[in-house]
Amino acid sequence: MKVMILGADGYLGWPLALRLMAKGHDVIGVDNFATRKSVEEVGSDSAIPILGMPDRVRAAKDIHGYKMKFHEGDITKYEFLHKVIKEERPDTVVHFAEQRSAPYSMINAKHASYTMSNNIIGTINLVYAIMELDPKIHVVKMATMGEYGTPNFDIPESAFVDADINGKTDRITTPKFGGSWYHWTKVHDTNNLLFANKVWKITTTNIFQGPVYGTRTKEITDEKLHSRFDFDEVWGTVVNRFCAEAVLGIPLTAYGAGGQIRGYLSLEDSMEALNLLIENPAQRGEHRTANQFVELLSINDIADIVKKAAKKQGIDIEVQHLDNPRVEADRHYYNPKIKVLPDLGFKPKLKMADLAPQLIKDLIPYRQRIERFRDRIMPHTQWRRVENAR
């Protein structure tokens, strides 16, 4: 299969390129290196050093014999995206090329509008290019579990639900309530994909993935093949942050009461799940919704797991409960359904408690490098504004 990955330089994009090549697929990467620039903009860097793309491609060839093609460019420029898809004619386009940080989107108006335009325009351009060039191409789009918010009902794995409004029934789109401007861009993308499917029968798999953690996949066998690893308050996600904090001896930064529950999965399990969804495409003309996570855990559960994992590495670490910089429920019901991936044979390999000690071990050699960005750990980006603080 020929697979184009938009966002091939990212935390998920690079390991997915390696996984697909390991499975014998042809991979064409596309990226404009926006994440590298935006992490630098907030004064941080990947905890684990990563090579530039030409060196990454060379290392994949030298170490595993994989041959990957790469195009540098911005998919919000329609002519560029249209040209690469026309030239390469992939069977599948994986769309990861979005601004993926909730805090980054909440910094100020400039960052919110960049997130909105970058994410929504990129997705619109993709569905137009596919409609014009070949609607048979399978679009695999990274959505997020965060689109649903934390509702007091079971989260379905479906784009539509039955609703009864004042005695009249109809199918309506599954209710969503994002927790940041970033999460709302994903909601808007989902709506736009549904409309593209309705009018042009674009074949889509929309993946509602929870937060991913980890440093390793089966193919990351050499330091030249590492994926980026962010840990600062803007770009780091909670599990990776806690592990980096443990390495620096900073008490783990649980926001609020720590009862926030999400569906987590390791980088390796994410790759396996994505590979299954790519190798088993949606039916022609179908809009398929897949929820993607392995374990439902609260922030307090994660703090406990990382604290124990750190202990195994000889690090004693405390947990601090900070005023939550976000506006979110920190005690709530959470029960998302998951059936599509298990039906495809998805069997998660690793639980967080098994993987966390290794994750911390992998970061220890980079302690000094992470130390340089110690002042980027504590949360500064506030959801609330002074004038409406509650």
- The residue type of 259 is G
Residues 64-83 that bind ligand USQ (CB under 6 A): none
Burial (CB count <10 Å: 0-12, 13-18, 19+), residue 40: exposed
Q: Which of 44, 215, 237, 291 binds ligand USQ (CB under 6 A)?
A: 237
- Between 57 and 143, name the residue whose CB sits nearer to ligand USQ: 143
Of 84-92, 158-166, 253-261, 311-319, the segment contacting ligand USQ by CB under 6 A is 253-261
Backbone angles phi, psi at 85, to 5 degrees: -70, -40
Pair 222, 59: CB distance under 8 Å: yes
Write down the catalytic residue from 11, 182, 264, 334. Answer: 182
Backbone angles phi, psi at 289, to 5 degrees: -105, 130
Of 44-52, 94-102, 110-118, 188-196, the segment contacting ligand USQ by CB under 6 A is 94-102
* CA–CA distance, 267 with 245 (Å, rounded to integer): 19
In this structure, the number of other CB atoms found within 10 A of the CB of residue 254 comes to 22
**Can residue 254 be called a binding residue for ligand USQ (CB under 6 A)?**
yes
Q: How many helices (H) and strands (E) does the chain have?
A: 13, 14
Give me 389's structure tokens: 């603080």
Tracing tokens 């110690």 back to the chain, one arrives at 374
**Can residue 244 be called a binding residue for ligand USQ (CB under 6 A)?**
no
- Between 84 and 157, name the residue whose CB sits nearer to ligand USQ: 157
- Between 150 and 217, name the residue whose CB sits nearer to ligand USQ: 150
Reply yes or no on whether 148 is catalytic: no
* CA–CA distance, 202 with 64 (Å, rounded to integer): 34
Pair 378, 103: CB distance under 8 Å: no
- Between 330 and 362, name the residue whose CB sits nearer to ligand USQ: 330
Of 2-10, 34-42, 74-82, 236-244, the segment contacting ligand USQ by CB under 6 A is 236-244
**Can residue 145 be called a binding residue for ligand USQ (CB under 6 A)?**
yes
Q: Which of 25, 287, 326, 376 binds ligand USQ (CB under 6 A)?
A: 326
Question: Is 254 strand, coil or helix?
Answer: strand
Of 41-49, 99-107, 117-125, 265-273, the segment contacting ligand USQ by CB under 6 A is 99-107
- Between 38 and 137, name the residue whose CB sits nearer to ligand USQ: 38
State the minimum distance, in angstroms, from the CB of residue 220 to ligand USQ: 20
**Can residue 305 be called a binding residue for ligand USQ (CB under 6 A)?**
no
Backbone angles phi, psi at 2, to 5 degrees: -105, 120
Size of the site for ligand USQ (CB under 6 A): 19
Reply yes or no on whether 168 is catalytic: no
**Can residue 260 be called a binding residue for ligand USQ (CB under 6 A)?**
yes
* CA–CA distance, 333 with 344 (Å, rounded to integer): 28
Q: Which of 144, 197, 313, 381 binds ligand USQ (CB under 6 A)?
A: 144
Angle at Cα 89 formed by Cα 84 and Cα 93, nearest 5°? Answer: 80
* CA–CA distance, 338 with 321 (Å, rounded to integer): 31
Of 199-207, 215-223, 254-262, 333-341, the segment contacting ligand USQ by CB under 6 A is 254-262
**Can residue 7 be called a binding residue for ligand USQ (CB under 6 A)?**
no
Q: Which of 238, 273, 319, 352 binds ligand USQ (CB under 6 A)?
A: 238
Write down the catalytic residue from 104, 186, 205, 217. Answer: 186
Residues 282-301 that bind ligand USQ (CB under 6 A): 299
**Residue nearest ligand USQ (C-beta atom):** 146
**Can residue 122 be called a binding residue for ligand USQ (CB under 6 A)?**
no
* CA–CA distance, 265 with 215 (Å, rounded to integer): 12
Contacts of 44 (CB under 8 A, 6+ apart): 230, 231, 232, 234, 235, 373, 376
Q: How far is CA 309 from the centre of its chain?
A: 24
**Can residue 146 be called a binding residue for ligand USQ (CB under 6 A)?**
yes
* CA–CA distance, 269 with 265 (Å, rounded to integer): 6
- Between 217 and 253, name the residue whose CB sits nearer to ligand USQ: 253
Reply yes or no on whether 186 is catalytic: yes
User: Using alpha carbons only, how large is the chain's radius of gyration in Å?
Assistant: 20
Q: CA dist 138 to 77, 93, 152, 336, Å?
A: 21, 6, 33, 25
Binding site for ligand USQ (CB under 6 A): 100-102, 144-146, 210-211, 237-238, 241, 253-255, 260, 262, 299, 326, 328
Catalytic residue ranges: 144, 182, 186
